[in-house]
Structures are given as structure tokens and as C-alpha cells.
Amino acid sequence: MNTLVNWLSPSAMQATGWALLHFLWQGIALAALAAAAMALCRRASARYLVGVSALALMLLAPLATFFVYSQQHSGVADTAKSSPLAAAQPTARDRDAASSSTQPSLLGRSSLAPSLDTLPWLVEAWLLGVAFFSLRSAGGFLLLERERRRQSSVVSPRVLEICYTLQDQLGLNRAIAYCECKWLQAPAVIGWFRPVVFLPVTALTGLSEEQLQVVIAHELAHIQRFDPFVNVFQVCVETLLFYHPAVWWLNKRIRAEREHCCDDMAVALCGNAVEYARALTLMEEWRSAPVFAMAANRGPLTERIVRVLGLKTLGAGMRGIGLTGSILCLTAALIAGNALLGIAHPPSASAIWQAAAQPASASAPATPNSTAVAKPSAAHPQSTGQTTASPTASSYIDEMKASGLTDLTVDQLIALKTQDVTPEYVKELRDQGLHPDANTLIAMRVQDISPEYVKGLRDAGLNPDQNQLIGLKVQGADGAYYRAMKEAGLQPDVNTLIGMKVQDVTPEYVREIRAAGLVVTANQVIALKVQDVTPAYLKAMHDLGIDLRTDDVIGMKVQDVTPEYVRGIQALGFKPSASELIGMRVQDVTPEYIKALQSAGFKLDISDIIGAKVQDVTPEFIERAKAHGFKDLSLQKLIQLRQLGILDSKADL
């Protein structure tokens, strides 16, 4: 026996091996039931509860199987000790006489079962896998804890006020820490009993205040729902049952539904689904978060944005396919389980000895006269003299083969028929130059992609492939929409057209942007729409004398350069350009700050003001310099005094 299982008793080792084998079909059956239940649930919270419950059952199933087999082994041992046949101790002559008749019929039944030498190897391989994944998980948690302690700092008071406000709105009374970090690219929650919300510099500087609020609300929702504890439970189940793909699939679904639940809570709390969708889009570009952390950019981006914005998804059609697949998987799992149960229960030792104790005549072969005559049956038509016609394939299968779809599986045929994919539909798509396979045909039919829809796109000058067709139909982009965009002066490709439809870019919006003086491409129009640049905003900036370029407009909108802000700066006698306005806004240069510098006797241009703000040269610092007798100092001298800390008191240091 192998060294890793030497510490197990033979009965415990056998029970462990059989529990691992039985979980192969049990895991498939539980995953199929979970998939069917999730397909019937409309709410993400219900699907999440179903997934976690199924995962708990997956953990309990092998434990229950181990207990049953342990009881069986102990029962067999007790029966062997107390059996009258065992006490009689048959002689060697009796055993030899019985072996020739009982061995083929009784012992042969267990020939398919794993031998006593096979199960220890199976258990040892499982123990090695558990050890490997345990070390992997422990290393991940330790690395996360080290990064948590080393590379973080307290957030600014403004951000802290936002966090506390959201925490109060959610009714969270737990002690939660908020830290700024550089090693993450999206906000995340780390910790179980003392959670910490990490806000990366990219989020603090790249998101607007509304976007930051809803993202922080997402992380607080994780804490309120105790998601970190469930995540640890998932990691433990993955470690123990690592060998079954159903466990990994179910954990992936649970994590996706968890993000959906927190998305719903965040949008319900902050009430701005559009800003949240934009935040998710931005954070997807920064995507990098540890697997053991609860991050806001975790999960499929497109699915989450579609849910948040309330757009149409695949809907009931895909749920029907999911239910059909679940039923088929459940049936296959039960059949496999029944077969494995037959293999796992060979005849007991007492049954063998009872057969051996029977008289030899009882086991003698039957004479020809005693042989029963089989009745004619439908399986053997020759016994009745009748002939039967050979079975013919169904007309649907023949027609699908004639349309070019061969080697279809049973699942594909059922799904095709369920979605009403007819041979005529396949032929009409082929006439349009498309050659989709069975799975693509199902998806196209679910989205109601008709040959006329394809022809309309082609006539408009667009030539999408099969996957792009599905994306266009999901977003509601057709040939008329593409022609309208061309008439507005754009030439978008298929993917850009889908992005424009996602952002609700209309031809009227494009014409108004161009009328405001901007020459834009299709991708720039998407960026303008994402930042909510309106024609009214462009007109206001143009009236203030700002020379507008597309990139500058996007930058000003990102930095929240408003017409009111520009008027406040211009009222002080400055005429900043678009790039200067962006730089001033990045450094949080306000009209009040400029007035304070002017009141201190400084006459500065825009670049001097930005430089002074970068170096933290405040009006108070200027007054302190004057109090020490320094007058008529240049900005450069003031910056040097500030950098060297010459005027700082010991309390400041």
C-alpha cells in the first residue's frame, strides 16, 4: 500500500476511494439541478442562493457516501464474525468443490470493480492534489495579507466622508478601514472579520465622484452580504473537490451572480446606472485584482453592463436550452451512478459461502429436457416467420443533412427543433453567404436574426460575420441605423457600430456634435458619449472663446471643467486654453486660489499658477515668508523655500 494512505485503515481507505468515485456522477447531477434551478430564477439573489446551496450539497455528498460505505464495511465485518457458516469453518474439500461452481457466477460479478490495489493509488493522488491546492490557496492569502500591510495609506478626508456616508446609508455598523493603494487597479475588499476597502490611485483620479460613489457602494455591499466568508468556503470546496469540473463551473457562476447582486445593491443605493456602467468600462481597462479579493471589476464586463443598464439579454430561449441540457446531464449522471452502484456492491463473503455449502447437485447444469423454450419476441422476428421493415431516419434529420448540417448530436437536434430552426431557414442564410454551425444557428434564432435582417445590413454596405450579426441584433443595430450614421458623416466598422449602439449614439447626436464645430470619428463619438458631452456643453465652451478639439473636449469633461469654472477664471483676467484648463483642474486650481495669490501681491500667468499649486505654495506660505522679512520674492525662490522646508516650524516637521 502507498505511503500516504498507510495511516488509513483498510475500511476507511475503501470508503474514501468509493466516495471520490461516486462524486463523479453526484457532482454532475447536482450541477445539472443547480443549472436548471438558476435558469428558472429571475433575480440574481435567488440564483446566488441556489448556487451556494448546491455547492454545500457537493461538499456533503462525498461525506455522506463515505459514512455509508464505512457503515457497510463495519456491518460486513460484524456479520462475518457472527455468521453460523463462518463458525462451521467449511473444510478445504468443501471449499474446493464449491469454488468451481461459485467462482464464475459470484466472484465474476465484481470483476469490473476497482481492485484493492487501485483504490489506494486513487486516494493517494487525491491527497496530493488537496495538498497542492491547499498550498496554493495559503500562498495566495499570505501574499494578499503582505500586500495589505505594506503598500497602503489612509485615504483623503473627502473620500473618507463619501465612504462613511455610504456606510451609514447601508446600515453597516462594522469597523471598516479605507485605504489608498497603488498595487490594485480597481477597488477591492480584503479581510473577513476586519474588512478593508482598498481604493487604488487609478480609481481616485480616473473616476468622477458619482462613479466613485457607486463603486464604493459595490464594495460595501460585499461586506454587508458577508461575501468574503462565502468566498473562503468556495476556495475550501475547490481545494477538496478539485478534480471535478462541475465544482469549478459552479464556483464561477456563484462569483458572477455575487457581482450581479452587489451591482444591483450599488445602483439601488446611488441610483445612477449609466455612471456605474461607465465606471465598469473604465475599470475593465485597468483590470488586475487578486482572486481572493472582492473586486468591483470582477466578472464578465458585457453581461454586467447589460444587466445594469437593463438592456435585453438572450432571455427565455437560452433558459430553455439550459433546462434541456440540465435534464440530459442529470439523466446521464443518474445512469452512470446506477452503473457504478452495481459495480460497487459485489456479493458478500457470506453469500459465497452459502452457495458453496449447497449440494453439488444444486449447481449442476440443467439437462436439455429441462431447458425452457423462449417465446418469440419482437426482437427476433425470424422466430415468428414475420419480417419487419428497416427503420428510417426522421424527415427532419434528413432535411437538416440535406441543408449541410451533418453529424448532429442529440442535444443539438433537440435545441435546433426547440428553437424552430428549419431547413428553409438554414438554406436562406446560406443564400446570404453565411455558413453557421448548429450552435451558431441556435443563437441566431434565439435573437430572431432573419435572412431579411442580414440582407438589410448587406444592402446598407455592412458585411458582418456570424458572431457580429448576433452582437448587432442584441444591440438593435440594423441597416437603417448604419445608413443614418453614414449620412451623418461617419464610416464605422461593425464593432464600432455595436459600441455606438451600446452608448445610445444617435444620428441626431452626431449631426449636432459636428454642427458645434467638432470633426469627429466614430470612436471619438463613442468617447464623447461616454463622458456625456452634449451639444449644449460644446456651444457654451465655444461662446466662452475656447478653441475646441475632440481630445481636449474629452479631457475637459473628464476633469469636470464646466462653463461656470471657465467664467470664474476668465473673470480674473485670464484667457486659458483648453489644455491649460485641464491642467488647472487636475491640480485643483480654483478661482479662489488665484484671488488669494493676487491678494498676496503676486502677478502670475497660468503656468506660474499651476506650478505654485503643484509645489503647494499657498497664500499662507507667502504671508509667512513676508513675516520673516522676505519681500518681492520670485515664484522660483518661494518654491525653493517650500521644497527645502526653511520656513517650516518644528511642529510642521
Could you tell me which residue, 434 or 146, shows the higher pLDDT?
A: 434
Q: How far apart are CA 241 and CA 477, in angstroms?
A: 45
Residue type present at position 427: K
Q: What's the mean pLDDT in 118-134?
A: 87
| Among 327, 243, 361, residue whose Cα is nearest residue 37 | 327
Q: How far apart are CA 155 and CA 163, in angstroms?
A: 10
Q: What's the mean pLDDT in 355-360?
A: 40
Q: How far apart are CA 257 and CA 250, in angstroms?
A: 11
Could you tell me which residue, 224 or 285, shows the higher pLDDT?
A: 224
- Please check whether residue 542 is in contact with residue 548, taking contact to mean a CB–CB distance below 8 angstroms: yes
List beta partners, residue 118.
none
Q: How far apart are CA 586 and CA 605, in angstroms?
A: 17
Distances, alpha carbon 454 to alpha carbons 448, 500, 575, in Å:
11, 19, 53
List beta partners, residue 179.
154, 198
Instruction: Return the ∠ at Cα 113 (arms to 111 and 115), rounded to 5°.
Output: 90
Asked whether the predicted pLDDT for residue 622 surpasses 50, the reply is: yes
- pLDDT tens-digit series, residues 7-52: 667 778 888 888 898 899 899 989 999 998 988 888 888 999 999 9
- As given in the structure block, the three cell numbers for residue 196 are 478593508
Confidence of residue 203 (pLDDT cuts 50, 70, 90): confident
Span of 334-348, 354-368, 556-570 with lowest mean pLDDT? 354-368
Instruction: Return the ∠ at Cα 159 (arms to 203 and 623), rounded to 5°.
Output: 110
Q: How far apart are CA 74 and CA 117, in angstroms?
A: 20
Could you give all domains of the chain from N- to C-terminal order, each with its CATH number?
123-309 (3.30.2010.10), 587-653 (no CATH)
Q: What's the mean pLDDT in 627-648?
A: 76
Q: How far apart are CA 234 and CA 361, in angstroms?
A: 61
pLDDT at 395: 74
- pLDDT tens-digit series, residues 481-512: 999 999 999 989 999 999 999 999 999 999 99
pLDDT at 319: 56
Asked whether the predicted pLDDT for residue 145 surpasses 80, the reply is: no
Residue 465 CB contacts under 8 Å (≥ 6 apart), including other chains: 494
Asked whether the predicted pLDDT for residue 653 surpasses 60, the reply is: no
Q: How far apart are CA 120 and CA 127, in angstroms?
A: 10
Torsion of CA 570, 574, 580, 586, to 10 degrees: -60
pLDDT at 498: 92
Asked whether the predicted pLDDT for residue 133 surpasses 80, the reply is: yes
- What residue has cell string 517650516? 648
Asked whether the predicted pLDDT for residue 391 surpasses 50, the reply is: no
Q: How far apart are CA 256 and CA 227, in angstroms?
A: 12
Confidence of residue 346 (pLDDT cuts 50, 70, 90): very low
Is 130 buried (19+), middle (13-18) or exposed (0-12) by CB count in 10 A?
middle
Q: How far apart are CA 409 and CA 402, in angstroms?
A: 16
| Among 587, 207, 298, residue whose Cα is nearest residue 199 | 207
Residue type present at position 229: F
Strands 188-190 and 177-181, how do they pair? unpaired
Q: What's the mean pLDDT in 537-565?
A: 90
| Among 223, 260, 219, 252, residue whose Cα is nearest residue 41 | 260
- Please check whether residue 276 is in contact with residue 270, taking contact to mean a CB–CB distance below 8 angstroms: yes
Q: How far apart are CA 201 and CA 186, in angstroms?
A: 9
pLDDT at 619: 81
- As given in the structure block, the three cell numbers for residue 52 are 451556494
* DSSP per-residue codes, 16-49: HHHHHHHHHHHHHHHHHHHHHHHHH--SHHHHHH
pLDDT at 393: 43
Q: How far apart are CA 468 and CA 492, in angstroms?
A: 14
> Phi-psi category of 274—alpha, beta or left, where left has phi over 0 and alpha has psi -120 to 50?
alpha
Tell me which H or E stretch contains 181: strand 177-181
Q: DSSP 3-state assignment of 189?
A: strand
pLDDT at 152: 67
- Please check whether residue 572 is in contact with residue 602, taking contact to mean a CB–CB distance below 8 angstroms: no
pLDDT at 287: 53
- What residue has cell string 457466477? 105
Is 624 buried (19+), middle (13-18) or exposed (0-12) by CB count in 10 A?
middle
pLDDT at 451: 92
* Selection from 9-23, 335-349, 552-566, 615-629 with the highest mean pLDDT: 552-566
Q: How far apart are CA 499 and CA 475, in angstroms?
A: 9
